[in-house]
Amino acid sequence: MAPPETLRVYNTMRGEKVSLTPLEPGKIKIYVCGPTVYSYVHIGNARSFTSFDVIVRYLRYRGFDVKYVRNYTDVDDKIINAARVIGQWGTRLTVQNDGSATLDGQPFKWTTDGHKLTLIDRAELPIDLAKQTVTLDGEALVRQGAPNDPIEHAAHFVREFEADAKALHMIPPDVSPKVSETIPEIITIIEKLIAKGVAYESRGDVYFQVSKYPQYAKLSKRKLDDLQAGARVEPGDAKREPLDFALWKSAKPGEPSWESPWGRGRPGWHIECSAMSAKYLGDTFDLHGGGLDLIFPHHENEIAQSEAASGVELCKCWMHGGFLDLEGAKMSKSLGNVVRLRDALQKVDAEALRYFFLSTHYRAPLGFSDKSLADADARMEYFYETLRLANERPSAGGVDDEKHLRAIEHEMDDDFNFTGALGHLSALFADMNKQLTEKDKGKANAALTALKASVKKIASVLGLFEDDPAQWLSRRRDRAVKQRGIDVAKVEAAITARADARKAKDFKRGDEIRAELKAMGVDIMDTPQGTTWKVTPE
Interaction residues for RNA, span 294-333 (CB under 7 A): 294-298, 321-325, 328-333
3-class state of residue 317 by DSSP: strand
| Selected binder of RNA within 7, 9, 36, 285 (CB under 7 A) | 36
Question: Which of residues 89 and 416 has its CB atom nearest to RNA in the complex?
Answer: 416
**Stretch binding RNA (CB under 7 A), from 100-108, 249-257, 346-354, 430-438:** 430-438
Nearest-approach distance from CB 340 to RNA, in angstroms: 12
Nearest-approach distance from CB 44 to RNA, in angstroms: 3
Judge contact between 18 and 287, C-beta under 8 A: no
**Stretch binding RNA (CB under 7 A), from 139-147, 419-427, 446-454, 466-474:** 419-427
45 interacts with RNA by CB under 7 A: yes
Site string for RNA, 265-294 (x = CB under 7 A): ----x--------------------xxxxx
Question: Which of residues 82 and 129 has its CB atom nearest to RNA in the complex?
Answer: 82
Tell me which residue of 73, 60, 68, 52 sits closest to 26, measured CA to CA.
60
Q: How many secondary structure helices (H) and strands (E) does the chain include? A: 16, 21
Question: Which of residues 103 and 274 has its CB atom nearest to RNA in the complex?
Answer: 274
| Selected binder of RNA within 86, 142, 366, 486 (CB under 7 A) | 366
Nearest-approach distance from CB 382 to RNA, in angstroms: 4
Can you say whether the dihedral through the CA atoms of 160, 165, 169, 174 is positive or negative? negative
The number of residues that bind RNA (CB under 7 A) is 87
Hey, what amino acid is at 453? Answer: A
Hey, what amino acid is at 423? Answer: G
Can you say whether the dihedral through the CA atoms of 494, 497, 502, 508 is positive or negative? negative
User: 410 Cβ partners below 8 Å, 6+ apart?
Assistant: none
Positions 477 through 536 that interact with RNA (CB under 7 A): 502, 507-508, 510-511, 514, 523-527, 534
Nearest-approach distance from CB 535 to RNA, in angstroms: 11
Positions 210 through 249 that interact with RNA (CB under 7 A): 220-223, 226-227, 229-232
Give, for 80, the enclosing helix (H) or strand (E): helix 77-89
**Measured between alpha carbons, how far is 458 from 351 in angstroms, rounded to an integer?**
14
Nearest-approach distance from CB 290 to RNA, in angstroms: 4
379 interacts with RNA by CB under 7 A: yes
Nearest-approach distance from CB 9 to RNA, in angstroms: 12
**Which whole-number Å values give the CA distances from 413 to 2, 10, 291, in the listed order?**
14, 11, 21
Tell me which residue of 5, 2, 10 sits closest to 322, measured CA to CA.
10
Positions 436 through 455 that interact with RNA (CB under 7 A): 436-437
Core vs surface per residue 233-251: b (16+ CB within 10 A) or e = eeeebbbeeebbbbbbbbb
434 interacts with RNA by CB under 7 A: yes
28 interacts with RNA by CB under 7 A: no
Give, for 289, the enclosing helix (H) or strand (E): strand 285-291
